Amino acid sequence: MAAHSETVTAPTALRRRERRQLAVSRFLANRLLTFGAVILLVVVLLAAIAPVATPYGPLQIDPVNRLKGPSWQHLFGTDNFGRDVFTRAVYGLRISVAVGFAVTAIASLIGMIVGLLSACYSVLDAIFMRICDGLFAFPSILLAISIMAALGPHPGNVVIALSIIFIPSVARIIRSKALVVRELTYIEALHAQGASSWRIIWIHMAPNALSPLIIQSTYIFAVSILTEASLSFLGAGIPSPSPSLGNMLYDGKAVIYNAWWMTVFPGSFLLLVVLGLNLFGDGLRDVLDPRASRMKGGRRRGNKTSP
């Protein structure tokens, strides 16, 4: 008996390990995904170790060394108050990543709840979707500025404003997928098993409706970082003197002809993190949805052959 169960267990365990390896190699085989993941990893790491990455503080003023170009003392130069641009850029990156992450998490969670509830209850659907339509009707930056104006300048309020902007799009994505899932036989079978609607929605429908959100969340991450930067650039985001990529760009704008480094370096950081997220998202979609990747691969190959 023992021998029998061993012979049965061995191949299953093997299969499971093989499957995990297969999944890992499939992810690694996608160059977009790997490249994006590496960029993201570097950025997040840099943001995480910001306090030890530089000898300067983000608010440390050095009036003697104002507007100095890149050097070994100040890799990215100094700004008009003599603050180290590299330090400020790294701290700005930290805030950007934190805001992006918080917004993605909050918008995904609330959007998922709203989407699932609207898919399952027609009364809630009518209410929630009209509110979403209302929010969609505003240009997002304008909406964010007005929310910031109402709440006051604070990093926490930036997160709230951006979350409000992204909840409707998450809710719509989840709702449309949940409407499909709701009609599948296994949901009906669960009703026939005596599961309550509440249990069916949160335990069975939620994981099945989640797949489009995984890719969407990388997009939300990237766009919320960009929007936060725009808000700060416009003076409605992270308030000075706290560093943020957006308000650094604003500070640099005034002296762009004399001190290019004040604009170029924060700008490239912003570019890097958004590029990393987009590559990661594209790669993720290619890996998770093979049909879309084949189409895209074909197009890419087509482009290469044409001169």
Kindly list the residues in this chain that would bind other proteins in the complex (CB under 8 A): 5, 8-9, 12, 122, 184-186, 188-196, 199, 204, 207-208
Q: How far is the CB of 192 from other proteins (least distance, A)?
A: 4
The residue among 97 and 173 lying less far from other proteins, judged by its C-beta, is 173
The residue among 60 and 211 lying less far from other proteins, judged by its C-beta, is 211
In angstroms, rounded to a whole number, what is the distance separating the alpha carbons of residues 115 and 205?
11
Q: How far is the CB of 247 from other proteins (least distance, A)?
A: 44
The residue among 194 and 307 lying less far from other proteins, judged by its C-beta, is 194
The residue among 193 and 306 lying less far from other proteins, judged by its C-beta, is 193
Q: How far is the CB of 188 from other proteins (least distance, A)?
A: 6
Peptide bond into 70 cis (omega under 30): no
Q: How far is the CB of 24 from other proteins (least distance, A)?
A: 19
Q: How far is the CB of 77 from other proteins (least distance, A)?
A: 52
The residue among 3 and 8 lying less far from other proteins, judged by its C-beta, is 8
Tokens representing 297?
A: 């691969």
